Structure 1
Amino acid sequence: MKELKQRLKQILIQGLNLEEISVDDIDDSMPLFSEDGLGLDSLDAVEIAILLQKHFQIELKEDEEGKQALQSINSLAEYITKHKGQ
């Protein structure tokens, strides 16, 4: 799971052009969409869905589970692990 979380951080940094942020700057439980976290916005959410499809062949659904998956690196990793291979 640790490797998955590291990979997710790298994918987000590259895919969302977060050049000023390093993998070490992102805590696994840090909120992705709040000012006290990464401060991402709704366009970033769409991009994350595309990145999950591209890198993990997983569709991020627009339901409560999908919204919960976008909370943090931890929740994204759990979502990927749960849906990989379905």
Structure 2
Amino acid sequence: MAERLIQALQLDILVDEIVPDAPLFGDGLGLDSIDALEIALLVSRDYGITLKSDDPDNKTIFASLRALSAHIQAHRKAA
């Protein structure tokens, strides 16, 4: 997931530089609302999961790479 995130957002970092529990926004990776939209598109396209902007769980879902990955695993449609 970290590799896909780096590619989709065109981040200038290595996979090893992403701490799984670090915040995606603010002091962590420093992502912003546009990046959140890109992540939602990535998750929808690659994993078949729709992330909506008005979901009350977004703060938890987008808390960290680990949280996002756990959400994807829990909601991924069977292939």
TM-score, length of structure 2 as denominator length: 0.89
Q: Gapped runs of 5+ residues in structure 1? A: 1-7
TM-score, length of structure 1 as denominator length: 0.82
The match for 1:45 is 36
Displaced runs of 4 or more, over 2 A: none
Distance in structure 1 (CA, Å) of the matches to 2:71 and 2:9: 19
1:68 lines up with 2:57 in the alignment: no
Contact 2:47 2:77 in 1 (8 A): no
Distance in structure 2 (CA, Å) of the matches to 1:85 and 1:67: 22
Count of residue correspondences = 77
Distance in structure 2 (CA, Å) of the matches to 1:61 and 1:47: 12
Q: By percentage of residues, which structure has more helix?
A: 1
The match for 1:81 is 73
3-state SS in 2 of match to 1:64 = coil
The match for 1:55 is 46
Distance in structure 2 (CA, Å) of the matches to 1:74 and 1:64: 18
1:61 to partner: Cα distance: 2.4
The match for 1:16 is 9
Supply the RMSD in Å over aligned alpha carbons.
Answer: 1.3
Q: Gapped runs of 5+ residues in structure 2? A: none
The match for 1:30 is 22
* Alignment-mate amino acid for residue 40 of structure 2: A
Q: Aligned residues: percent identity? A: 44
